[in-house]
Amino acid sequence: MDMDAVVALPTINDLRQFVHKALCDHDRLDPLQTPLFQGVVKRKGRPCGLFFHARGPRHTKNYALWTGEEHRIIFYSSSGERFGEASLSDEPDLLKVAEAA
């Protein structure tokens, strides 16, 4: 997967699957054995994105941040190093996602 690509992820499910696969691929984790957690990120009380983390064995935790206002996903390793970014040409409605979370 080219992590610096432009992708279309029109639904929250598409977004989750893309992020989960990317985080698992980075450390060669099995997605079926690696839970994905998410939370709404707010700025001044308003939702502005989603924070994801995948928890693997040996306390491995990779992170991703979907910045809805910037239309991109930034990926970080468990050591905090940035390892990729994806720009979004299509994405879920941020307000609807925040309400459902």
Q: Residue 1 domain-assigned?
A: no
Confidence bin at 30 (pLDDT 50/70/90): very high
Structural domain that includes position 26: 6-100
Length of the chain: 101
Indicate the number of domains in the chain: 1
d(CA 27, CA 43): 31
d(CA 101, CA 93): 12
Residues 27-53: what's their mean pLDDT? 92
pTM of the model: 0.90
Q: Residue 37 domain-assigned?
A: yes
Residues 22/9, Cβ–Cβ less than 8 Å: no
Predicted local distance difference test score (pLDDT) of residue 8: 95
